Each structure stands twice: as C-alpha cells, then as structure tokens.
Amino acid sequence: MSAENIRLYDTTLRDGAQREGVSLSVEDKLKILRRLDEFGIHYVECGYPASNPKDEEFFRRLARESLKGAVPVAFGSTRKAMIGTDKDRGLEELLRAETPAVCIVGKSWELHVRTALRTQLEENLYMIADSVDYLKRHGREVIYDAEHFYDAYKGNPDYAMKTVRAAVEAGADWVCLCDTNGGAMPWEVREITAAVARELSVPLGVHAHNDGECAVANSLVAVEEGVTMVQGTVNGYGERCGNANLCSIIPALVLKMGREAVDAERLKGLTELSHFVSEIMNIKPDSHQPYVGQKAFAHKGGMHVSAVMREPETYEHIRPESVGNRQHIEVSELSGKSTIIIKGKELGYDLTQSPEKVQEILDLVKEMEHRGYHFEAADGSFELLMRRHLGLHRVFFRLESFRVIMEKREDGKVVTEATIKVHVRGKRIIATGEGNGPVNALDNALRLAIGRAYPELDDIDLEDYKVLILNPEKATAAVTRVLIESGDGEKTWGTIGVSENIIEASWQALVDSIEYGLLHKKAQPD
C-alpha cells in the first residue's frame, strides 16, 4: 500500500457553518482558520466571497492574515448558462477574493443539468471548461468539485466522465468527486473512483456527505483507490446529516493506513481541535465521538478495566494519547476492585495496600447506584465521594440553611428567589439571589455568598442541567436524579444528586460541582 501524502481540505467554514443553529462571526471564522492552520490542514475553504456582507468582511481581513502553511480557498460555481466568463459576477468575486486557490463546483449529473440549470448538456460542458480556463488564466490553483458525481456516474457514466474531462482539459489542478446527497455505498465509491482514476491523470479528491452514515468509510475507500485530497469538516459538522468527519478520517489515514497527512506531534492536537471548534460553534461535544470523544476510551465493566490496565490494546484500538485523548475509567455498579484502585491512583492515593478500603468504596458505590446514583456520568461527584471516604476531603463552606421562593404574579411574570446561609472561613454569610428557576437562583445566591472568599468561582460555569425521574409511577413523589455538567474553559466535569425533592437533588449536584471546581483550581479551603 502506497504511503503517498494526502492533502487535507477543510470546509468547516462553509459546509460546517451550514449546520442548523450555527452562526459564525467573522472573528469566529478567523479563530477556526488559525487553529486549522496550526494543526496542519493543507487547504481551508473559507466560503463564498460575496454571499453576504459578513463573508465580504472575512475575505478582506483574510488578506491580512499570515498563515503558516494552510492555503485559503475561495468557493464558488461555474459561470451561469449563456453568459461569458468575463461577465459572470460569481467568477469576478472569486478573483477579487485574491486567494491563491479557488474551488468551483459544477454539475455532473444529467438530472441536475436539465432540472436545476435548465440548460443543455453541451452548454454545461462549456460552462465547466470556460470557468476553469478563466480562473487558470488569472493565476489561480483550481480545485474542481464534481457535484453529485457518484449519482451522476451511476445514472450516465459517459456524461459524468465528459464533465470531469472538460475540467481537466481546461487545466484544473484537482478534480474532486462528490457524493453530495450522501447516499453512496463504499463498494460503489470504490468501483467508481477506480474507474475515474484509470482514465484521468489529474490528482483526484473526494467530498462525501454523511446521509447514509458512510462518509468516513467512503473517503477512506476513495483514498485506497488513488484519491490524494480528502475534503471534510471538523467533527463532521454540516447541513442535514453532516459531512465527512476529519476527526475520524485523519487518525485513520495516519495510524491505520500509513498515509502522511499530518505528523505525529500535530496529531496529538486532534482532540483539542475538535473541542475548540465545538466551543466556537456553541455545540456540545459528542462524548461518544470516535477518537476525540470524552468516552472514546472509557471503560466501565470490571473485566474490561482489569484487562486494559494490564495491556491497553485488549480494549483500545489505538493509544488515546496519539490523538490527544486519554483513557477514562468509569465507576458504576459493574465496577471491580481494579477500577477503585485506578481511581485512587489518579488521586495520588495507593489503595493496593488497603484492600478493606477498596471493598468499602466499591460496596458504597453499588449501594448508591441502587438508590439511583449514576457515577459514570458524574466523575466529579465520584472523586469527591472517594476523597470523603479516604479522609482527603477539603471543606470550602458549610451550609446552615437555604430557602427557595417562587412567585407567580398577576401579570404572568414568574420570579424565583433563593436565600442561603453559609459559614465561610469563620464568617456567617446570608445572601439572596434571583434566577430563572430555583436552581439558577440557588447558584446565584451561593456564588454571592462565597464568591469573595473564592474568586476562582468566576471561571466555573454551569454548562448543562438534566433531570431524570427514576420511578415515574410514583408521580409527584417520585425520586429525581439531577446531573449537572460544569466547566472552567479547560476541562468539564459531571456531578449528581438524587432525592425525592428535586431542589435537594439539584443542591447536591450543585455543591459537588462547585467544590470539585474549587478543588482543581487549587483554592484554599475553609
């Protein structure tokens, strides 16, 4: 198998930004561009130069960026039917963007030529050739995206090949075969890509969408058949079901296929890149995402934990450190003693010499999970549980009492108020906070009460709040489980509370969240 270099082409700033609910500012796009450049992406597609005022400003600022290696790409389409290239506004805007490379998309599928373009098949070939030639004459590297190519080839292979030949004969530097509808199967991609590779001498690329859950597989199969450019987005973000996920494709290329896409040191930044883009796009990271997800190398069953501690390869397909991730040992009712020992070691406490402590903690975990706790999603609460049992717990404040009042007014407005009494560093403090609901009000009141003593609280944010009713048949008397996810900009942690009273369950999870955050911020305890 050839170890030929693969060129990575990222289209997060265009395709990824088309995901529902995503709206990137100019500064957001520049931040992502810089991070992609640092990671070692070869081409970064920056969007349509004149699609809206925001993109116009982005391309103006792009001209002042000093990139280390990434080639910025302006995206557009072939000229319109029956219009000369020198009169086509889209092509003019591509040139005005002044990027060294441009990507133009053209129609490969007879169905689209007739129904979308509403022109003749022969005119479409002229549109492709004229547009590529025009951009090449103006000194641009031209990447030609053959839209719907795999569907087109299945429908009319002769015409599909005519479209890409038109691009090649006009001087295209790359021809990228697109599965735009995302429905091609890997065996189809393999056969069609091989057929195209036999006929064309120009370097080939692949652009896959994920509507059939095969975008990553299709991209890797295409590489096996000679493709040397892979297009995709970070985390597979994109419209509908998304695009090919570069966070899965890149490690597969490097670690499993022996292809030179990025070097080993940069590959270690993959998890950080994934989470960075998630944060900028305001999308919660998928904890179960392959390679980069928080749970990608998580082990829960006692037998699995025992095995990976002896030899990680028993249940891990790669070393998590190679992509900047880490092994994660989860605690649950399925845990064995080895899990508790490992967790103790993470806290700097050697439990191998205290088998009775190990058994006590294990029994406690099983008893608490029987009551409704769920520690595999609450790593913060479990660490605090262990610290308390081992006498390592550090008290930051002591609760005297709290009270929550909700008032619904005649005008329909709902006001929630929480008053809390706590003891902090020898002082009794009373604070009142309002909020959007009782948990938010409690959080605000607690922060008012202890914030002066612990300025580290400013960096700790409550990011997610989930409620699960464990025995709904008991109606309003049911036991409630509350899970809170918090973060400080560098890491995230989960905490849990269980009670028949939802406010009490929320308080348990909230206190654990803040104590865990302060502990890892190295705040001085009470």
pLDDT the model gives residue 316? 81
pLDDT the model gives residue 1? 35
Count Cβ atoms below 10 Å from residue 133 Cβ, excluding itself: 18
pLDDT the model gives residue 475? 63
Count Cβ atoms below 10 Å from residue 519 Cβ, excluding itself: 19
Contact in structure between 244 and 215 (CB atoms under 8 Å): yes
Instruction: List the structure tokens of 87.
Output: 């009169």
How do 414-424 and 427-435 pair as beta strands?
Answer: antiparallel
- Which one, of 446, 437, 489, 445, lies nearest residue 465 by Cα? 437
- Which one, of 371, 374, 445, 351, lies nearest residue 404 by Cα? 445
Contact in structure between 323 and 261 (CB atoms under 8 Å): no
CA atoms within 13 A on the CB side of 234: 30
Q: How far apart are CA 510 and CA 380, in angstroms?
A: 11
In 3-state terms the chain splits into helix, strand, coil percentages (rounded to 5) of 45, 20, 35
The per-residue b/e assignment along 500-509, b for 16 or more CB within 10 angstroms, e otherwise, is eebbebbbbb
pLDDT the model gives residue 312? 72
Burial class (CB in 10 A: 0-12, 13-18, 19+), 117: middle
Count Cβ atoms below 10 Å from residue 66 Cβ, excluding itself: 6
- 460 DSSP 8-state letter: -
Q: How far apart are CA 408 and CA 508, in angstroms?
A: 26
The residue assigned the tokens 């520690």 is 375
Instruction: List the structure tokens of 462.
Output: 């409550």
Mean pLDDT by 10 residues, the chain (526 residues): 78 95 92 96 93 87 94 96 92 95 96 90 96 98 98 97 98 98 98 97 97 98 98 97 98 96 96 91 88 82 63 82 81 65 77 85 84 80 88 89 90 90 94 91 94 92 84 70 87 89 92 92 77
Contact in structure between 241 and 210 (CB atoms under 8 Å): yes
pLDDT the model gives residue 330? 62
pLDDT the model gives residue 306? 63
Q: What is the largest CA-CA distance in the chain?
A: 85
Count Cβ atoms below 10 Å from residue 53 Cβ, excluding itself: 9
Instruction: List the structure tokens of 36.
Output: 């992609």
Domains of the chain: 9-280 (3.20.20.70), 298-371 (no CATH), 397-453 (3.30.160)
Contact in structure between 74 and 103 (CB atoms under 8 Å): yes
pLDDT the model gives residue 349? 78
User: CA torsion 391→397→403→404, rounded to 10°?
Assistant: -90
| Element at 449 (helix H, strand E) | helix 438-450
Count Cβ atoms below 10 Å from residue 391 Cβ, excluding itself: 7
Measured distance between the N- and C-terminal CA atoms of the chain, rounded to whole angstroms: 62
Contact in structure between 69 and 101 (CB atoms under 8 Å): no
* pTM for this predicted structure: 0.74
Contact in structure between 359 and 337 (CB atoms under 8 Å): yes
Alpha helices in 170-300 (DSSP H): 186-199, 215-224, 246-251, 264-267, 270-280
